[in-house]
Amino acid sequence: MLPGFFRSPLRGPWLTSALGTVLLVLIAIVATTGFLSHAAYMPDLPGNQIVPAGRDLPLLTSFGWPTSPSWLYALTQGLHTNVGLVAIPFLLAKLWSVIPRLFAFPPVTSPAQAIERLSIALLVSSAVFELATGVINAQYWYPFEFNFVVAHYYGAIVFVASLVLHVIVKLPVVARAYRERGVLTPLRDGLAGTRPEPDGELVSPDPAEPTISRRGLFAFAGAGAAVLLLGNAGQSIGGPLRKLALFAPRREDFPVNKTAAAAGVTAAMTGPGYALTLVAGGRELALTRDELLALPQRTARLPIACVEGWSTTQEWTGVPLSALAERAGAPGAKQVLVESLQPAGVLRQASLTRDQIAAADSLLALKVNGADLSLDHGYPARIIVPALPGVHNTKWVARMTFA
Amino acid sequence: MMRRYGASPVHLLAHLALLPIVAWALLTVLDFRAASNVVLWLVAAVVLHDLVLLPAYSALDRLAQAATRSAVNYVRVPAGLSLLTLLVFWGTIAGKGEGAYRRVSGLGYEGYVGRWLLLTGALFAVSGALYLIRRR
């Protein structure tokens, strides 16, 4: 590429530093909430593991995910998905600001530069990979052959590690740009006052006349973020805002994550022959739905939030899990493995911790909003636990094994 | 030695500390399933952004500049926002995810194209109104 091909007068160390700073804050939120979500699935418990056992980050397993506040997972996963969308226009602007570096000639001048270019390639690749796979997964579009959870998780580790590396390497450049040009000072210039940065990498040797100011560029990226947020956030917040989520998939008030038909659960399985089996210490106890309804009931208004970022709050009524543990002969149970009537699939079962069984509002729900559960929402009985990732609130519960 | 390396010791140590973690994560995911598809996606992510998307929007921007001169931002901004929305929500707007969504939820993707067209029209309408107000 000829020198002088890239002629924007906006490019320079300050612009890239400022875009990088905004992006760093956004990515810190997205990465933290993403790893928290991984922890919230409690991969160490039986049936909960999705990424290969023994190949997980040791710090993130054995994490006691809390049950209070009940909206915790709705918040963390709402942030993960929506702030991820907000990051997209800033990532595009950041990559635009550094594109001349891709065509630097000669491409490599030292071992340090060679290894740095490799790490930058990994950084850009994993950044685009993480945002692209996250976005399309939330839209139910799966044009890939890998397992989304596994690839998005290890891709995140590649992304975060290469980002930490990038921040360490570029910190002096950022500090110098802010020291020499001020952190916010260049944003004061309107179009008429917009000049190329005086020196430094990325500054065009043959700058064109500006067509937009630096603050205009930030406003443009910010407007992009606002439009994407507006198009999606309603499915995370719910209520009347849900209809504002113009482009999100979950625009109905009480979405069904997976229908009974899709899960392979039939009316015959949930009919008069249905009984819930409670297992504890080798003893089994079967309870029909009428027997469950005859036990003391509790009602709780709880959100259920999906890893895809949508959530809904409803009023659930059923038997507290702690009462079921007692009934099974395992008061104060350490954990419970909940299995569904659903015949197959990774998420037909999930384990809960002692704290999740003990929480007052953790229910085996039989009703929602005063009416029997519909088949698609888990009739005859489903789990609802405060702050638990959506799919671990097992529907069509067939068997609960306490330990 | 650092002169031959071409950067500070911090640069070298940071790479030696973090690149092995990157390599571990890559090897783990490649070992799990569909390794060639993961590699394809990682490579395509860079190639499609750097050599397709960025040149394409830069070329469109040049066209807009040539066509509008000083008023370019009144076209650039609404067009950019509209195309960003189309790119990010391609799965719902183009219905790419509709088959899988219908299988799990029993519902379809209704009205997404229409809402995107309305958004696009509204963005250009606001931009046009601002142009008229400011030109007077």
Q: Are A333 and A357 in contact (CB under 8 A)?
A: yes
Could you tell me if A79 and A109 lie in one domain? yes
The SS3 of residue A382 is: strand
Residue A1 falls within a domain, yes or no? no
Q: What is the rounded average pLDDT of the residues B49-70?
A: 95
Could you tell me if A138 and A183 lie in one domain? yes
Q: What is the rounded average pLDDT of the residues B89-96?
A: 98
Residues of the domain holding A229: 13-244
The reported pLDDT for the residue numbered A3 is 62
Could you tell me if A23 and A123 lie in one domain? yes
Residue A368 falls within a domain, yes or no? yes
Q: For chain B, what is the radius of gyration of the CA atoms?
A: 23
> For residue A331, what is the domain's CATH number?
3.90.420.10
Q: Domain boundary residue among A205, A220, A244?
A: A244
Cis-peptide into A106, omega within 30 deg? yes
- Does the distance separating the beta carbons of B106 and A262 come in below 8 Å? yes
Residue A113 falls within a domain, yes or no? yes
- φ, ψ (nearest 5 deg) of residue B127: -65, -45
Choose, out of A35, A55, A141, A148, the residue to mutate when testing the contact with B (most B CBs < 10 Å): A141
Within 8 A of B22 by CB-CB distance, chain A residues are 119, 122, 157-158, 161-162
- Could you give the C-alpha distances from A5 to A1, A40, A104, in angstroms and in order? 7, 49, 12
Residue A251 falls within a domain, yes or no? no
Could you tell me if A281 and A350 lie in one domain? yes
- Does the distance separating the beta carbons of B41 and A133 come in below 8 Å? yes
Choose, out of A85, A90, A101, A128, the residue to mutate when testing the contact with B (most B CBs < 10 Å): A128
Q: Are strands A397-402 and A349-353 parallel, antiparallel or unpaired?
A: unpaired
The residues, ordered by sequence, that sit 6+ positions from A271 with a Cβ below 8 Å of its Cβ are none
Q: What distance in Å separates the CA atoms of residue A56 and residue A41, rounded to the nearest whole number? A: 13
Within 8 A of B15 by CB-CB distance, chain A residues are 115-116, 119, 165
Could you tell me if A365 and A225 lie in one domain? no
Residues within 8 A of B (CB atoms), A 32-71 only: 51-52, 55
Q: Domain boundary residue among A188, A217, A244?
A: A244
pLDDT tops 60 at residue B80: yes
The reported pLDDT for the residue numbered A180 is 97
Within 8 A of A261 by CB-CB distance, chain B residues are 106
Residue A216 falls within a domain, yes or no? yes
Q: What distance in Å separates the CA atoms of residue A186 and residue A206, rounded to the nearest whole number? A: 20
pLDDT tens digits, chain A, 403 residues: what are they? 566 789 999 999 999 999 999 999 999 999 999 999 999 999 989 999 888 878 888 766 567 899 999 999 999 999 999 999 999 999 999 999 999 999 988 999 999 999 999 999 999 999 999 999 999 999 999 999 999 999 999 999 999 999 999 999 999 999 999 999 999 999 999 999 999 999 999 999 999 999 999 999 999 999 999 999 999 999 999 999 999 999 999 999 999 999 999 999 999 999 999 999 999 999 999 999 999 999 999 999 999 999 999 999 999 999 999 999 999 999 999 999 999 999 999 899 999 999 999 999 999 999 999 999 999 999 999 999 999 999 999 999 999 999 9
Write a three-state SS string for A133-174: HHHHHHCCCCCCCCCHHHHHHHHHHHHHHHHHHHHHHHHHHH
Could you tell me if A293 and A231 lie in one domain? no
Q: What is the rounded average pLDDT of the residues B80-99?
A: 98
Q: Are A217 and A93 in contact (CB under 8 A)?
A: yes
Question: What amino acid occupies position A395?
Answer: K
Q: What number of CA atoms fall less than 13 Å from residue B17's CA on the CB side? A: 13
Residue A387 falls within a domain, yes or no? yes
Q: Are A202 and A101 in contact (CB under 8 A)?
A: yes
Q: How many domains does chain A divide into?
A: 2
Q: What distance in Å separates the CA atoms of residue A334 and residue A353, rounded to the nearest whole number? A: 6
Q: What is the rounded average pLDDT of the residues B37-64?
A: 97
Whose structure tokens read 């990010």?
Answer: B88
pLDDT tens string A91-140: 999 999 999 999 988 999 999 999 999 999 999 999 999 999 999 999 99
ipTM surpassing 0.90: yes
Could you tell me if A230 and A294 lie in one domain? no
The reported pLDDT for the residue numbered A53 is 79
The reported pLDDT for the residue numbered A136 is 98
Within 8 A of B130 by CB-CB distance, chain A residues are none
Q: Which residue of A has its CA nearest to B11?
A: A169
Residues within 8 A of B (CB atoms), A 265-324 only: none
B95 is written with which tokens?
């219905």
Could you tell me if A283 and A164 lie in one domain? no
Q: Are B135 and B68 in contact (CB under 8 A)?
A: no
Domain ranges of chain B: 1-32, 33-135
Q: What distance in Å separates the CA atoms of residue A392 and residue A402, rounded to the nearest whole number? A: 16
Residue A252 falls within a domain, yes or no? no
Q: Are A348 and A392 in contact (CB under 8 A)?
A: no
Q: What is the rounded average pLDDT of the residues B39-61?
A: 97
Q: What is the rounded average pLDDT of the residues B98-113?
A: 95
Task: Return the DSSP state at A392.
Answer: G
Q: Which residue of B has its CA nearest to A87?
A: B88
Residues within 8 A of B (CB atoms), A 372-391 only: 376
DSSP B70-93: GGHHHHHHHHHHHHHHHHHTHHHH
Could you tell me if A153 and A214 lie in one domain? yes
Could you tell me if A199 and A274 lie in one domain? no
On average, the pLDDT of chain B sits at: 96
Where b means 16+ CB within 10 Å and e means fewer, A298-309 reads bbbebbbbbbbb
